[in-house]
């Protein structure tokens, strides 16, 4: 068995005559067994890109905008031809239009390895070519980070939140807006060696802590926590928090001293809450009318929060909707009103359960990561605005107080990640991908992103190369020796970029004279040299590789967010203009954004324009992260495939809603919105609130039967809206949509998501059969 690592944690693997055998790390108290079941599918040659390919239209007609991207078939070519074509296009575009016309796309989830980190590799390569237009922020936290930088000065409520070990010992009441989903806590960028989130929550429950879940999905908290389940109308958490805050202040249950000494702008916000600003009193009765939670329950919960050591947890999902800044800002303000910030077990945290590392150990020193170099191009976009950029070059847009313009992108270079998973309104994204002159992609599999490329380089998987595995949220550095040889003619991203750099005359600048093994040793030894005194593990690279795993030094385990700030806000101010938590922000107010004013504000999102249960799209769709895979990775793997219904992604809805539509378990249904439509397999479940349907992201996008549905496989981003959270952050809004569900008409089209766009010997077994 060979120890290896992944975003789902460490595992042992060996290639046998029967295939790849994978076993979870025996030292992990709660290993991600279900996700690790997908790992053997990395080696499934039926869906692998095995040799370089060029889109037929590009090969025959050359570069240029082309609406056949995503429809065309591909021609296998040799490495020499593919590298020559890619080098020629890179050189043509940067010479004729400048480096700002190259977009370097990546999303960082390609591998847990730090050297073969596709995002670092592609950015390093493009930087030695002179730079590229980049993206900033993430789909996961697009609204959160720009907002938190303004109201608390940094993202400490995410990355340095109070440790779960502290909550397990001290918290008496957990009020979980959006829950703490156990499925997401099995995943972390770079991997963790110990999955401990659920264990800490169970210890808190055993000690007597109470849990209140505020979510449309009952299983956003594990069942044995015995949580009270409150189901507001989706998208109305901000209004509910307003009702709680107003109740606390009106009844004298707030901490006035904390608000005066540690916060800025409370009086301004209170004028808004109590109606002195506009005549609207935003109390529990007002909140009840909006969120459909009884007024008496709101009042009782506020009193309970004041009477106990309370942790307010805010899931990342809350801010992935229109005006997503508001529930996060309001949650922080509500915690300020309670005045428990900085106390063990009290306060606020953003994202417990969103990833395995949130609230866990944190390595505070350096990590052995690949230097990306310096980007001389200043153009950038918020990551969720890629379709806007490609469709509307030269148009202006607002972001975090600045007025910017979309660059004119002629070439897209993508390595690591699948925008046809993360992005919204996939029909619109297809139109956007038709606009560039050239699209180059590194891929292991025939994903929708590969199918929308002109040149596709076959990339090796993590099992097929040596690497170093670590994460700041873990407590170990893991050697990741290759388990097997690369399939087909696949090469590592480094090898591909190295060959391209040689073609373009910048080989030495890219590789610095090192091969892959020498880079691994260099990164490890450079990391050792940068450690603080006493942190050196005492092993050279050869010793580390032989041992396989070493502890990361300087790991903080028991943290209390803002403990020093609470003790002395003058000696330990926050990095905000006031040095305090900014319940009202003069900086944000100065931007003049009507979609993100200067204090927490109730802004009714477009999907609430029609009352719940009315109109052509009466249901709320929750498009959350899947339990059976990471994003869209390895959707063809055993764990993901076993969860499919009639070969399509499962969609859950309340049994009463299903019965009202004449639907039964196992039916293939059509989920429609104003944007598009998707086929999925029905699973009735009373873990879903009435009026809500839930369809996880990550099914490989399949637009092969557009006369039937935008996607016939179950990708919810076929029906989500591509609009930013606000002009402040321009974050992703794919979490919530309005839809209707009905039985799909016969005959049903086959699912062709796993059928390569070129004939590959042996692929017939994966070809979907007519239903």
Indicate whether 415 and 305 sit together in one domain.
Answer: no
C-alpha span between 155 and 153 (Å, rounded): 7
Q: What is the mean pLDDT of residues 170-187?
A: 97
Q: Are strands 362-363 and 555-556 parallel, antiparallel or unpaired?
A: antiparallel
Q: Are residues 238 and 150 in the same domain?
A: yes
The secondary structure of 232-273, three-state, reads CCCCCHHHHHHHHHHHHHHCCCCCHHHHHHHEECHHHHHHHH
CATH code, 202: 3.40.228.10
Percent of the chain with pLDDT over 90: 94
Shared-domain flag, residues 202 and 62: no
Residue 179's Cβ-side half-sphere holds a number of Cα atoms within 13 Å equal to 26
- Asked if the model's pLDDT at residue 348 lies above 90, the reply is yes
- Exposure of 718 in the CB half-sphere (CA atoms within 13 A): 30
Q: What pLDDT is stored for residue 357 in this prediction?
A: 87
Span 544-568, pLDDT tens digits: 999 999 999 878 889 999 999 999 9
Contact 284, 148 (CB under 8 A): no
Q: Specify the pLDDT at position 368.
A: 96
Cα separation, 146 vs 252, whole angstroms: 33
From 105, 101, 90, 132, select the one nearest 504 (Cα to Cα).
Answer: 90
Q: Mean pLDDT throughout 216-223?
A: 97
From the list 744, 589, 612, 614, the residue with the least C-alpha distance to 677 is 744
Q: Which of 8, 79, 109, 446 is catalytic?
A: 109
Write out pLDDT tens, residues 228-264. Answer: 999 999 999 999 999 999 999 999 999 999 999 999 9
* Mean pLDDT within 40-59: 97
Let me know if 616 is exposed, middle or buried by CB neighbors in 10 A (0-12, 13-18, 19+): exposed
Q: Which pLDDT does position 175 carry in this prediction?
A: 98
Q: How many domains does the chain have?
A: 3
CATH at residue 631: 2.40.40.20
Residue holding tokens 């502290």?
166
Q: Are residue 350 and residue 386 in the same domain, yes or no?
A: no
Catalytic residue list contains 79: no
Tokens of 600: 């927490």
Cβ pair 501, 126 in contact under 8 A? no
366 has pLDDT over 50: yes
Spatial distance between the Cα atoms of 698 and 717, rounded to a whole number of angstroms: 9
Name the 3-class secondary structure at 99: helix
The first and second tokens of residue 78, run together, are 């040799």
Q: Are residues 647 and 708 in the same domain?
A: yes
Q: Has residue 761 got a pLDDT over 60? A: no
pLDDT recorded at residue 770 = 33
Query: Could you identify the residue written with the tokens 């942190």?
Result: 535
Q: Please, which residues have CB within 8 angstroms of residue 229's CB and are 6 or more apart in sequence?
A: 213, 215, 218
- Is residue 529 scored above 70 in pLDDT? yes
| 683 belongs to a structural domain | yes
Q: What is the pLDDT of residue 1?
A: 84
pLDDT at 768 over 70: no
- Establish whether the linkage from the previous residue to 186 is cis, with ω within 30° of 0: no
Residues 465 and 505 in one domain: yes
* pLDDT at position 17: 87
The per-residue pLDDT for range 727-742, each reduced to its tens digit, is 999 999 999 999 999 9
Do residues 404 and 534 both lie within one domain? yes
Q: Is residue 188 pLDDT above 50, yes or no? A: yes
Q: How many CB atoms lie under 10 A from the CB of residue 682?
A: 26
Q: What pLDDT, on the 0 to 100 scale, is given for residue 110?
A: 81
Q: How many CA atoms lie within 13 A of 408 on its CB side?
A: 7
pLDDT at 764: 44
pLDDT at 107: 87
**Domain for residue 487, yes or no?**
yes
The CA-based dihedral angle spanning residues 124, 130, 133, 135, taken in that order and rounded to the nearest 10 degrees: 20
In a shared domain, residues 126 and 165: no
Q: How confident is the model at residue 717 (pLDDT cuts 50, 70, 90)?
A: very high
Residue finishing a domain among 563, 590, 617: 590
Is 107 tagged catalytic? yes
- The residues facing 549 across adjacent strands are 478
According to the model, what pLDDT value does residue 83 have?
98
φ and ψ at residue 491, rounded to 5 degrees: -130, 160
pTM (two decimals): 0.96
* pLDDT range class, residue 767, cuts 50, 70, 90: very low
Query: Is 361 in a helix, a strand, or coil?
Result: coil
Do both 105 and 167 map to the same domain?
Answer: no
Which CATH number does the domain housing residue 439 bear? 3.40.50.740
690 belongs to a structural domain:
yes
Which among 279, 222, 231, 233 has a CA at the least distance from the CA of 30?
222
Report the candidate in 587, 618, 606 with the shortest Cα–Cα distance to residue 724.
606
DSSP letter (8 states) at residue 555: E
In a domain? residue 760: no
Return the H-helix or E-strand segment holding 743.
strand 736-743
pLDDT value at 449 more than 50: yes
Residue 430 inside a domain? The answer is: yes
In the numeric block, the tokens 């046809």 are attached to 420
How would DSSP label each residue in 364-416? -S--------------EEEGGGHHHHHHSTT-EEEETTEEEE-----EEEEES
Strand partners, 480: 467
Cα–Cα distance measured from residue 336 to residue 254, given in angstroms and rounded to the nearest whole number? 9
Predicted pLDDT at 769: 35
Write down the pLDDT at residue 759: 56
Per DSSP bridges, beta strands 476-480 and 581-582 are unpaired
Does 693 fall in a domain? yes
* Token reading at 421: 């998973």
CA atoms within 13 A on the CB side of 584: 16
Report yes or no on 196 lying in a domain: yes
Query: Which is it for the CA torsion 555, 561, 562, 566, positive or negative?
Result: negative
CA distance 675 to 123: 33
Looking from the CA of 223 toward its CB, the CA atoms found within 13 Å total 1
Q: Under 8 Å CB-to-CB from 716, ≥6 apart: which residues?
A: 621, 623, 649, 671, 678, 695, 696, 697, 734, 737
- Residue 762 pLDDT more than 50? no
- Distances in whole angstroms, Cα of residue 99 to Cα of each of 219, 375, 379, 456, 611: 47, 10, 10, 21, 48
- The DSSP-derived string for 16-67 is ETTEEEEEE-TT-SS--HHHHTTGGGGG-TTSB--S-EEEHHHHHH-SS--T
Q: Is 354 among the domain residues?
A: yes
Whether 245 and 299 have beta carbons less than 8 Å apart is answered as no
Same domain, 201 and 324: yes
For residues 83 and 118, membership in a common domain is answered with yes
Question: 217 and 357 in contact (C-beta within 8 Å)?
Answer: no
Task: Assess whether 547 and 673 both reside in one domain.
Answer: no
pLDDT in tens, 13-36: 988 888 999 999 999 999 999 999
The pLDDT of 203-229, averaged and rounded, is 98
pLDDT at 763 over 80: no
Neighbours of 422 (CB within 10 A): 23
Q: Give dist(CA 487, CA 502) in Å, integer.
A: 24
Instruction: Name the residue range of residue 162's domain.
Output: 144-358+580-590
Going by pLDDT thresholds of 50, 70 and 90, the confidence category of residue 281 is: very high
Mean per-residue pLDDT for 612-626?
A: 97
Per residue in 663-700, pLDDT tens? 999 999 999 999 999 999 999 999 999 999 999 999 99
Q: What is the mean pLDDT of residues 518-522?
A: 98
Report how far residue 178's alpha carbon sits from residue 199's, in angstroms, rounded to the nearest whole number: 19
Per-residue pLDDT reduced to its tens digit, 160-170: 999 999 999 99
The size of the chain, in residues, is 771
Average pLDDT on 119-147 reads: 98
Q: How far is CA 404 from CA 221, 288, 295, 380, 411, in A?
A: 41, 40, 44, 9, 20
Q: What does the pLDDT read at residue 771?
A: 37
Q: Which residues lie below 8 Å from residue 463, measured CB to CB, with a gap of 6+?
A: 4, 13, 20, 39, 42, 43, 482, 483, 484
How many angstroms separate the CA atoms of 613 and 30, rounded? 40
One of 8, 79, 107, 352 is an active-site residue; which one? 107
163-177, 662-676, 747-761, range with the lowest pLDDT: 747-761
């Amino acid at each position: 068995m060979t120890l290896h690592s992944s975003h789902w944690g460490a595992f042992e693997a060996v290639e046998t005559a029967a295939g790849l055998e994978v076993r979870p790390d025996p030292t992990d108290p709660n290993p991600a067994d279900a996700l690790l079941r997908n790992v053997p599918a990395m080696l499934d040659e039926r869906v692998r890109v095995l040799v370089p390919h060029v889109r037929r239209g590009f090969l025959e007609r050359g570069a240029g905008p082309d609406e056949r991207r995503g429809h065309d078939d591909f021609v296998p070519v040799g490495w020499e031809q593919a590298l020559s074509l890619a080098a020629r296009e890179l050189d043509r575009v940067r010479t004729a239009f400048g480096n700002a016309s190259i977009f370097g796309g990546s999303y960082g989830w390609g591998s847990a390895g730090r050297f073969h980190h596709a995002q670092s590799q592609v950015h390093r390569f493009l930087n030695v070519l002179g730079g590229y237009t980049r993206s900033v922020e993430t789909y996961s936290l697009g609204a959160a980070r720009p907002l938190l930088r303004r109201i608390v000065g940094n993202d400490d409520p995410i990355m340095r939140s109070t440790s779960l070990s502290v909550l397990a010992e001290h918290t008496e009441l957990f009020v979980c807006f959006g829950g703490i989903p156990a499925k997401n806590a099995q995943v972390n960028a770079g991997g963790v060696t110990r999955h401990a989130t659920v264990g800490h929550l169970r210890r808190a429950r055993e000690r007597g802590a109470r849990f209140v879940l505020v979510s449309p999905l009952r299983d956003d908290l594990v069942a044995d926590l015995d949580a009270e389940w409150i189901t507001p109308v989706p998208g109305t958490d901000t209004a509910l928090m307003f009702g709680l805050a107003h109740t606390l202040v009106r009844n004298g249950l707030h901490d006035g001293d904390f608000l005066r000494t540690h916060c800025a702008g409370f009086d301004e916000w209170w004028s808004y809450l109590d109606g002195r600003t506009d005549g609207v009193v935003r109390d529990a009765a007002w909140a009840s009318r909006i969120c459909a939670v009884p007024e008496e329950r709101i009042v009782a919960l506020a009193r309970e929060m004041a009477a106990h050591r309370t942790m307010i947890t805010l899931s990342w999902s809350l801010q992935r909707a229109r005006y997503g800044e508001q529930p996060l800002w309001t949650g922080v303000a509500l915690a300020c009103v309670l005045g428990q910030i900085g106390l063990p077990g009290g306060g606020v945290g953003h994202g417990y359960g969103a990833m395995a590392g949130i609230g866990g150990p944190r390595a505070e020193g350096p990590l052995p990561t690949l230097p990306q170099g310096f980007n001389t191009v200043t153009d950038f976009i918020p990551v969720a605005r890629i379709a806007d950029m490609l469709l509307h070059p030269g148009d202006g847009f607002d972001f975090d107080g600045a007025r910017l313009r979309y660059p004119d992108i002629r070439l897209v270079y993508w390595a690591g990640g699948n925008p046809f998973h993360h992005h919204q309104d996939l029909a619109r994204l297809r139109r956007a991908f038709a606009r560039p002159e050239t699209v180059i992609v590194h891929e292991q599999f025939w994903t929708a992103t590969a199918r929308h490329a002109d040149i596709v380089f076959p990339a090796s998987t993590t099992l097929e190369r040596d690497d170093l595995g670590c994460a700041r949220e873990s407590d170990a550095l893991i050697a990741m020796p290759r388990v097997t040889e690369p399939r087909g003619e696949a090469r590592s991203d480094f090898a591909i970029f190295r060959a391209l750099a040689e073609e373009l005359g910048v080989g030495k600048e890219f590789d610095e004279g090192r091969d892959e093994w020498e880079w691994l040793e260099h990164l490890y030894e450079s990391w050792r040299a940068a450690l603080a005194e006493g942190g050196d593990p005492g092993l050279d690279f050869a010793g580390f590789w032989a041992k396989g795993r070493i502890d990361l030094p300087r790991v903080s385990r028991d943290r209390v967010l803002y403990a020093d700030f609470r003790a002395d806000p003058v000696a330990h101010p926050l990095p905000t203009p006031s040095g305090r938590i900014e319940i009202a922000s003069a900086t944000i107010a100065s931007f003049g954004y009507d979609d993100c004013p200067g204090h927490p504000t109730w802004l009714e999102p477009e999907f609430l324009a029609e009352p719940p249960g009315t109109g052509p799209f009466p249901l709320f769709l929750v498009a959350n992260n899947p339990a059976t895979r990471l994003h869209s990775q390895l959707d063809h793997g055993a764990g993901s495939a076993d969860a499919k219904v009639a070969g399509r992604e499962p969609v859950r809805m309340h049994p009463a809603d299903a019965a009202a539509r004449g639907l039964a378990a196992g039916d293939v249904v059509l989920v429609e919105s104003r944007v598009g439509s998707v086929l999925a397999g029905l699973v009735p479940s009373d873990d879903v609130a009435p009026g809500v349907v839930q369809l996880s992201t990550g099914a490989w996008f399949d637009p092969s039967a557009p006369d039937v549905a935008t996607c016939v496989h179950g990708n919810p981003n076929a029906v989500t809206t591509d609009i930013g959270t606000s002009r402040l952050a321009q974050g992703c809004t794919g979490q919530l949509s309005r839809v209707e569900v009905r039985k799909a008409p016969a005959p049903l089209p086959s699912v062709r998501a796993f059928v390569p766009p070129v004939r590959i010997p042996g692929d017939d077994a994966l070809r979907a059969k007519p239903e």
